[in-house]
Structure 1
Amino acid sequence: MHNVKDQQLFADMYQCALNTSHWISVLDQVKARMNVASVVVQVLKLGTTDLEWEARDSFSLEHSALHDKWVNNADNPRLCIESHRPLQVIRDDDVFPENCPIFRKFLKRLARAGLGKAIMLDITMPDSTLLTLVAHRHCDDTRPYDADTENFLYALAPHLTQVFTLTAQLSHVMQHQALLENVVDQMTTGMMMLDRNATVVWGNRVAKDLVHDSSGMTLHNQQLRFMNNAVHHSFRNILSQIPRQRSGLERHILVVKEEGQNAIEIMFTPYMKNGMLQYVLMYLKDVEATTFDVKEIQMLFELTPAEAHIAVAIAEGLTLTEYAEKKGVSIGTARIQLKSVFSKMSIGRQSDLVRKLWQSVSTESLIIQ
């Protein structure tokens, strides 16, 4: 009967890797299985008294102030016990003679905390830390720890080790994820990841703010929808085209413009893996917040100053006629300049010009503010 319940307990312990608060429930079960007053799990830096991590059962948490005052401090003689094996179970009686004055004094302190003698499971971890489980009897419970209790702790040891290994690995991954999310949230470009059904899988802060503040877009049950039917149709058409792309290098541009609001320019690109579409990456940019540096555009695409100016003007929304009037040149001169821009940038349409310049500024905006 013990074996079945023990296996259930060991399995339940693995939930602690995802939910650290679950340790209370698990240690309460360990406490009941061992028929003791309290159970605590600690991680100490090997060879020191430095406590790096701790989990307690509900009784120990309730009486934590009392336990810390009389037991969990540098005066605890158990901290002087050396680990001679990577895995060992130690009873107080194995280490301290009954007439040891230091331990007899410590027993009195234990009694003030309502605790009696202990049994410990010590595991030396690969990272030079000591993972230890300490179980205490009640102060008036003088029963010795039997072979069944010792065997239970040895059976518990590999599961306890594995849970802490998984916890450390998961913590490392979560720290990196939090760091990456923090970096991405500092970008000036909105980024979203969609599945084929236009469900938003992930988005950074800028993207969420742009969608939230826009009257032309909305999220319903995490699905992205455009309020203008024509724009939404174009959006769905883009999503249907992307899975048929072979190179994964194609880009699609969509502009959302509502009265009284800045235009939002959106670029779509596929995220491919092993030649298969996994997600659609969506980059969002407030057009009014987008600035093109004429000199940088000139250098990037090897344009003349005049060509760079007309390229930026067209990308920022001016018509060819408006640009010609603004610069005081003939429409014919403007056409010749634009044709030269098309040739140098290997494009054939104004929409391609917008896409290329938008990509250049989007790439630059990935730099943290």
Structure 2
Amino acid sequence: MTTSFIERLLPDFYRCAEQPGNWQLVLDQVRDELQVGSVVVQKFRVDGNRLQQQWVLRDSHSMEHAESHDCLVNNEENPRLQLDESRLPLQDVAVIQGDQGFGRMRQAEFRALDERLALLGLARPIILGIRYSNDSSLSMLLHPRCDGSQTVDNRHGQFLQQLAPHLKQSVSLYEKLSQLQQTNDTLSQCLDRCNAGVAVLGASGEVRWLNGSAREVLQRSRHLSLANGRLRCADPDDANRLAELVAAAASGESAGERFVGAVGPGWDRPVQLLAVPVLAASGPCVALYLSDDALRSELSPEEVVQLYGLTPAEARLAIALCEGATVNEYAEGRGVAVGTVRIQLKSIFSKLGLNRQPELVRLIGSSITTRTRSFSS
């Protein structure tokens, strides 16, 4: 039974690496097949003379009573979490029953643990212990019910021994994929602060990845959308231009090449596109940057002060000039004399080593703050 069950279990077991939400269903299968009351997988790291739980995976019964379980069992009074002279060194793989591996000095603590487990309707577990790394370990615990209707025996031990290499491998895959997902989420958030959406396309135009800003652009646009994993244009001529743009970038021989275009008429919020080839190990693909008139940042006087060493009044003037105001318009709007504004402008030129207003507009307009979106955007 054990071998055939493991063979049936393994596809779902390894699938949990990329679908972590399935762990509970898989542990429920183990619980029901082995007729125990609870199945839990834990990862611990060594912290001084204790094992500290890093994470836990539970079957549905354990999940339902998770708060009580953590309060009564996963605490400093649990002798299994102590690392001292009473505990034998952990083997690479070991199946442990009762207080096996501990000296007599822990017996009273194990009796107290039994009493707390009984409050949860559970008895002492049989445990699979795996050395995961130099300072961490994995455990799978099979708890029978404490009413005597269930017991653990050699059948359970054989199951745990056979499952051990698969548990270690699946957890390793699960952690690596989780780390990659966390990295992906972090990079996506960073890219979302740029004043452009980013899409990664395959050589044939299929969309492999979009950041949040790209999705915003597509949701706003009447000219470009995402459908069935591909970018779709409302106008056939735009569709041809987009296809040519992507094809040109996909066939580009240098990652430094740039191909630009736009979707939609210039008077109706077009989506501007910049395509560059990406020479990935898996084959050529295209990084497509998308922007519309909504993806822009307001210049902040406080940030201009910090970047260029201007006074707040000078920063406000510099921003107004970058936004198209004239000296006279700015003076009138602020209710100050034109001469005062010209003195401020002369001070700005002196501090920044500039001579002409277009140079100021170009400098401030190309600052890092104009290339990124504020967190309130």
- The 3-state SS of whatever aligns with 1:17 is coil
Match of 2:179? 172
For residues 63-88 of structure 1, give each alpha carbon's deviation from its aligned partner in whole angstroms, at most 9, with x where no partner exists: 33443444333222333363522322
For residues 7-52 of structure 1, give each alpha carbon's deviation from its aligned partner in whole angstroms, at most 9, with x where no partner exists: 2223422122122232222222222343322222222222414221
Indicate if the aligned counterparts of 1:189 and 1:365 stay in contact, CA closer than 8 A: no
For structure 2, the 5+ residue unaligned runs are 298-361
Q: Number of paired residues? A: 301
Match of 2:286? 280
Shift of the 261–52 alpha-carbon distance from structure 1 to 2, 3 Å rule, reads same
Deviates more, 1:38-47 or 1:255-264: 255-264
CA distance in 2, matches of 1:23, 1:216: 43
For residues 252-275 of structure 1, give each alpha carbon's deviation from its aligned partner in whole angstroms, at most 9, with x where no partner exists: 33234536434543233333457x
Does residue 1:203 correspond to 2:219, yes or no? no
Match of 1:55? 57
- The 3-state SS of whatever aligns with 1:22 is helix
1:186 Cα shift?
Answer: 0.9
Does residue 1:92 correspond to 2:94, yes or no? no
Shift of the 71–150 alpha-carbon distance from structure 1 to 2, 3 Å rule, reads same
CA distance in 1, matches of 2:57, 2:208: 34
| Aligned-pair identity (%) | 29
Indicate if the aligned counterparts of 1:266 and 1:284 stay in contact, CA closer than 8 A: yes
Among 73, 76, 91, the alignment partner of 2:75 is 73
Among 87, 97, 113, the alignment partner of 1:82 is 87
Indicate if the aligned counterparts of 2:38 and 2:61 stay in contact, CA closer than 8 A: yes
Indicate if the aligned counterparts of 2:199 and 2:288 stay in contact, CA closer than 8 A: yes
Match of 2:265? 258
Match of 1:27? 27
Does residue 1:116 correspond to 2:118, yes or no? no
CA distance in 2, matches of 1:277, 1:58: 43
Indicate if the aligned counterparts of 2:144 and 2:151 stay in contact, CA closer than 8 A: no
CA distance in 2, matches of 1:289, 1:76: 55
Deviates more, 1:167-176 or 1:260-269: 260-269
TM-score (norm 2): 0.67
Indicate if the aligned counterparts of 2:99 and 2:110 stay in contact, CA closer than 8 A: no
CA distance in 1, matches of 2:43, 2:369: 45
Shift of the 17–261 alpha-carbon distance from structure 1 to 2, 3 Å rule, reads same
For structure 1, the 5+ residue unaligned runs are 292-356
1:109 Cα shift?
Answer: 2.8
Shift of the 201–3 alpha-carbon distance from structure 1 to 2, 3 Å rule, reads closer
Match of 1:346? none
Shift of the 76–260 alpha-carbon distance from structure 1 to 2, 3 Å rule, reads same
Equivalent AA in structure 1 for residue 273 of structure 2: I
CA distance in 2, matches of 1:17, 1:282: 31
- The 3-state SS of whatever aligns with 2:288 is strand
Among 147, 160, 165, the alignment partner of 1:153 is 160
Shift of the 5–247 alpha-carbon distance from structure 1 to 2, 3 Å rule, reads same
Match of 2:135? 128
Shift of the 127–244 alpha-carbon distance from structure 1 to 2, 3 Å rule, reads same
**Aligned Cα root-mean-square deviation (Å):** 3.7
Equivalent AA in structure 2 for residue 254 of structure 1: G
Indicate if the aligned counterparts of 2:52 and 2:81 stay in contact, CA closer than 8 A: no
CA distance in 2, matches of 1:254, 1:124: 56
Equivalent AA in structure 2 for residue 51 of structure 1: Q
Indicate if the aligned counterparts of 1:195 and 1:279 stay in contact, CA closer than 8 A: yes
1:126 Cα shift?
Answer: 0.8
CA distance in 2, matches of 1:109, 1:226: 64
1:89 Cα shift?
Answer: 1.4
Equivalent AA in structure 2 for residue 35 of structure 1: Q
Please list, as runs of the form range in 1=range in 2, the aligned pairs for 1:1-369 lying within 5 A after superposition: 1-46=1-46, 47-80=49-82, 82-84=87-89, 85-92=91-98, 94=100, 95=102, 100-126=107-133, 128-141=135-148, 145-242=152-249, 245-247=252-254, 249-258=256-265, 260-273=267-280, 278-286=284-292
TM-score (norm 1): 0.68
Indicate if the aligned counterparts of 2:195 and 2:295 stay in contact, CA closer than 8 A: no
1:161 Cα shift?
Answer: 1.0
Indicate if the aligned counterparts of 2:2 and 2:159 stay in contact, CA closer than 8 A: no
Shift of the 38–96 alpha-carbon distance from structure 1 to 2, 3 Å rule, reads farther
CA distance in 2, matches of 1:59, 1:43: 19
1:188 Cα shift?
Answer: 1.0
Indicate if the aligned counterparts of 1:270 and 1:277 stay in contact, CA closer than 8 A: no
